[in-house]
Structure 1
Amino acid sequence: MQSRAFPGQSRSGQPFDSRRRQVLLAGALGVPALSLMGRSAFAANGKNSVSLAMIGEPQTLDPMFTTADLVGTLMQHVYEPLYTFDSHWRIVPMLAAAMPTVLDGGKQVDIPLRKGLVFHDGKPVQIGDVVASLKRWMEVSPRGKSVAAEVVSVEAASDSVLTFKLKSPYAPLLAQLALPTSMAAVMPASTIAAQLTEFIGTGPYRLKERRPDQYTILEKFDQYAARTEAPDGYGGRRIAYIQELRFIPVPDSNTRVEGVLSGQFDFADLLPTEAAGRLEQGGKQVVPLIGKNFGFPYLVFNTKGTLDSAALRQTAQAAIGAEELMAAAFGDPKFFSIGANFFPQGTPYYSLAGQERYNVNDPKKAAELAKKAGYAGKPIRILASRQYEFHYNMALVLSEQFKRAGLEVDLQVVDWATLLQRRNDPSLWDIYITHSGIFPEPMLSPPQLGDNAPGWWETPEKKAVLDAFNREMDLSKRGPLWGTVQELVYEQVPFIELGKFNSLSARSAKLQGYNPSAWPAFWNVKLA
């Protein structure tokens, strides 16, 4: 995850009619009963709180450790980066006092720190905390490691300014610093360790309690130092109107649908598109949320596994029909579109380079390529999770497409946390299915464009085209360079982008001020 996307995703049964039935259903599904009962499972404490149904349990609370959207969604309330994105995906300051000063032809970036920042333990934020945090980020974060390859040093220039010194100009730097997933989060230097045991940030909420597979509770931080600008996307003023946020793992998508319809959940994330009709008929208590151009599903290829050669990956590519996969995933065409372009028309990075390799869906051609590539019948291990129902539906059709081309398949369906663990071991998989958001900076996603991401795409050609792309600071020149990158992706097949999709989620009508967003955020939100 992977990672998430632009604002705005099976089957459904009957509403629950009692707590007893909820508990029985929970047992049948293997879901903790507490997950189904939402707010009613907690003792009344007189506090203003909400129950938020998420797709599963976060694998970690470390904001740097993973690109998984679920971790970023939760922990963006606890930790904050130096920069963030406004509603138009422009980069704006968060913990930084202002936009940076760029010197030495782009090889020095000076970032001023806001005054008056306070950690959740009551201690003031010092420039040394910021430097230590960024150094840890560059050591442990998949995104940070990509940045580290471009950095000579990051040091305190004064008590209120930190300086990046770069080997060469690096256009994606601020966007990398702004992303909530695998976040360049600022934390106290005293808490920094290879594995965090204290989760202390500067955000409007602080961690109160976590019970794995049951809930994670965040509570309002009364000393939070908010920005003064008007709220805009993730930028501007953040106010914690709600006392407690209760994130509840609900892996079964049907349960999330029924829970929000019955009022057990105030918000339900990433719902199956076929539930749209039921949500629309759910009465005044439920508000369905459709996110336009939410993101793109994609297949990640393991370059160290069964498909270790570009020729074998091209074989798989020829067997794949993106249109069939998108239809299986989202059903109604109003929820998806197909096209070889990674970025929408009208953006600086729109390109059709490599389109002849997209949506081929030719079993005969794939079989011929397999023979030329020396394919020996070894099963292609496909990792997928049912927690994202559309991933699973794609996996079923993908398996059939491969079989039509004479390719053996080993489909492994696991929970999302297990998939995130297995994808780090190249001996365990060949393809995994995930999705991402459509971001304004190409280097933000997929992570395979960077270094050290699962899939391990590292070739001289990749280094050459991305070096040229990332060192060009002039957007009018950088935009056309994306076509060269896209062409190489289609040629070497480290991943395959399948199309674009809209998302479906839902909220209670009582949850006011919530704006559908890439990573659901609940500051500036009130309960009626």
Structure 2
Amino acid sequence: MNRSRIALLLAAAPIALTLAHGAAAQPAPNRVLRVAPHADLKTLDPVFASIVITRMHGLMIYETLFAWDSKLQSHPQMVESVSTSPDNLVWSFRLRDGLRFHDGQPVTTRDVIASLQRWMKRDTVGGKMAEYTAALEAQDERSFTLRLKKPTGMVPFALGSAVGQIPAIMRESDAATDPMKPVTEAIGSGPFRFNRAEWQSGARVVYDRNPDYVPRSEPADGLAGGRVVKLDRVEWTIMPDPATAAAALQTGEIDIWEQPGQDLIPVISRNRDVKVERYSNLSNQAMLRPNHLHPPFNDPRARLALAYATDQADFLAAGFGDEQWWKRCASYFVCGSPNGTEAGTEAFAKPNLETARKLLAESGYKGERVVMSSSYDIAPIGRMAEVAAETLKKIGLNVDLQFADWGTVTTRQQNRSTPDQGGWNLFVTTASGATMQSPVTNIGTNMACDRAWSGWPCDAEAEKLRNAVVEAVDEDGRRAATEALHRRLAEMQPYRVLGQYDQPYARRSNISGVLSAPVMVFWNIEKK
């Protein structure tokens, strides 16, 4: 990084951000947290989109029935009490008192049931829950039951899911809309309110403390426990240029940089008023996702060619710099997690371009244009996409790498049309370790066809094996089922695992209380 450029930005940042805030009345400085998030907020509906920035937004304003703690264990959140029948087929829940939406309406079981039904049509975990669900029934305004077709122990874990599309509880009027279209309202019952009047797409997102919110009494732990808000306002300032964010952090114009650029970590770490830390002990995963609907990657041989063609180190070094921040790993379920097997991946542990070319030819590929969509809004993703394009050209793929803003890229990912009609063939992305570590939550290994995540992989055998994991009754059975599933995934390649990395965050030294969670959350934080 050019040091003179940083010096200029250090001088300019205070003026630029002051102008951006304008003359509007502001709460006391120590009650306003200013954050540079990793991307701009485009989609407001966390049940429609699995985008991390939308999930962060969702957790600000919505709540879920259960919530994961820092060790990914699930605890009641909106639920006051829960009980199960002796055969484990009937789960009974009662909502805690005092739950109200931001418009003043009480949260009722009608809202809950409509929200869960919508989530089950959108999410990997929700779709799996739907397979086991016989009925959702309201008993009264605060009590409802979940009746299962067959026993599974995943109920609290699923209802507290903080990955993919989260089971956010919305107003019935919002949740009852078409699940294939995003909800454009942002009325939840959570600890913050979305300030739509001050939302400036591409520049600024504002959340105000919800004065009517009643937190749980337990201490905060991850997403679980009391969501006690110690600020009046949280402002996200969109800063696509890492040097601008680095400068703003060092001058105190922002308090937190959610995902600092790896090449700038040594620079900001030298500032004694800046702390660089991790907020998760589980590494994240990078991936190359093919579209299974259209040639050539509707053929598993073409997808397997991606695995033989690519060297994880090339991608990780380009995306995340120094090797202290990344490592090779071929596990779909994250090395270092309870499910971190690499079974079935031995053959492509090292690149083999000759084998990749052979598999590509066998798939019937004849040089057709392959569209790869990417963005430099999230710099590591853009850099890894460039590596992918150059690598895949070596095995004969005619790659058309197209860059756009991240919001446009993620919107395009939902398009099932052919590439020449606005669709796509490939994209590079990343996902949290919390998302990918379990066969239940891993959005990329869901091969349930139309109910799968963007890319829409379809394989009945993989889904059968994933069900075996869900239904395993003991640890040995779960491990055996997970290994069998992983071997099938390695063969079918729903996506190419590009390895894993650690993404730290950076904060000013006067900021405390950042919780270890699947994504960054802003309750419990204090600014002195």
TM-score by length of structure 1 reads 0.89
Indicate the residue corresponding to 1:339 in structure 2: 329
Alignment of structure 1 residues 108-127 onto 2, 5 Å: 108-127=90-109
Aligned-partner Cα distance in 2 for 1:249–1:346: 33
Question: Comparing 149-158 with 480-489, which one deviates more in the overlay?
Answer: 149-158
Task: Determine if the alignment matches structure 1 residue 188 to structure 2 residue 171.
Answer: yes
Letter in 1 for 2:236: F
Task: Tell me by how many angstroms 1:298 deviates.
Answer: 1.0
- Are 2:212 and 1:223 equivalent residues in the alignment? yes
Judged with a 3 Å threshold, the aligned counterparts in structure 2 of structure 1 residues 17 and 211 are, in CA distance, closer, same or farther, namely: closer
The structure 2 residue matched to 1:352, chosen from 330, 342, 352, is: 342
Letter in 2 for 1:208: N
Q: Distance in 2 between matches of 1:140 and 1:370?
A: 32
Identity of aligned residues (%): 24
Q: After TM superposition, list the pairs within 5 Å mapping 1:311-326 onto structure 2.
A: 311-326=301-316
Amino acid at match of 2:26: N
Structure possessing the higher relative contact order (Cα contacts under 8 Å, 6 or more residues apart)? 1
* Whole-Å separation in 2 of the counterparts to 1:17 and 1:492: 48
Label 1:128 to 1:527 Cα distance change in 2 as closer, same or farther (>3 A).
same
SS for the counterpart of 1:183 is coil
SS in 2 for 1:361: coil
Structure 2 residue aligned with 1:502: 502
The Cα RMSD (Å) is 2.5
1:279 aligns with 2:268: yes
Correspondence 1:413 to 2:403: yes
Q: CA deviation at 1:197?
A: 4.6
Corresponding residue for residue 208 of structure 1: 195
Q: How many Å separate the matches in 2 of 1:187 and 1:122? A: 13
Query: Cα distance 1:237–1:142, how it changes in 2: closer, same or farther (>3 A)?
Result: same
Q: Does 1:102 align with 2:84?
A: yes
User: What is aligned with 2:443?
Assistant: 446
Give the Cα–Cα distance (whole angstroms) in 2 for the partners of residues 246 and 196 of structure 1. 22
Aligned equivalents of 1:223, 1:485: Cα separation in 2: 46
Alpha-carbon deviation of 1:372? 2.6
Distance in 2 of aligned mates of 1:519 and 1:134: 21
What is the CA distance between 1:511 and its match in structure 2? 1.8
Partner of 2:223: 234
> Bigger shift: 393-402 or 147-156?
147-156
1:71 equivalent to 2:61? Answer no
Distance 1:103 1:394 in 2: 50
> Contact 1:437 / 1:445 at 8 angstroms: preserved in 2?
no
Q: 1:455 maps to what in 2?
A: 455
Per-residue deviation, 1:316: 2.1
Instruction: State the Cα distance separating 1:380 from its structure 2 match.
Output: 2.5
Equivalent residue, structure 1, for 2:489: 489
Secondary structure in structure 2 of the residue aligned to 1:328: helix
Distance 1:138 1:237 in 2: 27
* Cross-structure match for 1:29: none
Range moving further from structure 2, 36-45 or 468-477: 36-45
Q: Which of 425, 431, 442 does residue 436 from structure 1 map onto? A: 431
Question: 1:313 and 1:343 mapped to 2: Cα distance?
Answer: 19
1:387 correspondence with 2:384:
no
Equivalent pairs counted in the alignment come to: 506
Q: Secondary structure at the match of 1:369?
A: helix
Is residue 50 of structure 1 aligned with residue 33 of structure 2? yes
Q: Is the 8 A contact 2:329 2:335 kept in 1?
A: no
Note closer, same or farther for the CA distance 1:171–1:455 as it changes in structure 2 (3 Å cut): farther
Task: Supply the distance in 1 between the matched residues of 2:458 and 2:10 (Cα, whole angstroms).
Answer: 55
Cα distance per residue 1:438-486 (max 9 Å; x no partner): 2253321234415331111112212221222222243442132111111
Query: Hey, what does 2:480 align to over in structure 1?
Result: 480
Aligned to 1:5: none
C-alpha deviation, 1:391, in angstroms: 1.2
Unpaired segments of 5 or more residues in structure 1? 1-9, 24-32
